[in-house]
Amino acid sequence: MKKTAIAAATTFAALGSMLIAPAAQAAPYPRSVDTACVAVAADSKVGPGDRVKVKFKWTADGNIVPKGRVKYTVTRVRTGTVETGTFWSGAANRTQKRFFRFKRTGNYYVEFQTKAKATSIFRNCSASTEKIKVRKKF
């Protein structure tokens, strides 16, 4: 009888702690995911007509791959926009590569802006390269 009473008390205490402890809840689904952009030019000083490789990477928090359109703008400091275009970004952890030719001397920047779909959870971001100097002698 004594052992039965101890077993019943232990069972009652264990069940009581289960009822009092709150249940673990899953985190709510995020309405938007933060993203980051990086743009890097392979060469910062080139001659007129040389090809310059520019790498662009769009990443998100966690293991999700952001997808969407990327708009690029090539800007010459003195005269303004030289070239614009778009491409699709959505390959898993891939760095997008674009090649540009600068025919005139001067300082250039390549700017990238992401544009996710309206129904997407990814936030847009933008990135710009460092100054690319096009000189006859460098």
Residue 16's pLDDT is 62
CA–CA dist 44, 22 (Å, integer)? 58
Q: 38 with 94: CB under 8 angstroms?
A: no
Q: What percent of the chain has pLDDT over 90?
A: 46
Domain membership flag for residue 8: no
2 domain residue, yes or no: no
Single-letter amino acid code for the residue at 63 = N
Residue-range definition of the domain harbouring residue 90:
35-134
Residue 66's CATH number = 2.60.40.10
pLDDT digits (tens, 9 = 90+) for 77-136: 999 989 999 998 877 668 899 999 999 999 999 999 999 888 888 889 999 999 999 999
Total structural domains within the chain: 1
Whether residue 119 is contained in a domain is answered as: yes
In a domain, 82, yes or no: yes
Distances from the Cα of 67 to the Cαs of 22, 41, 116, in angstroms? 38, 22, 7
Look at residue 138 and tell me whether its pLDDT is greater than 70: no
* pLDDT of 130: 94
For position 126, what pLDDT does the model report?
93
The reply to whether the predicted model has a pTM over 0.75 is: no
Residue 28 falls within a domain, yes or no? Answer: no
d(CA 101, CA 61): 34
Using DSSP, state whether 5 is helix, strand or coil: helix
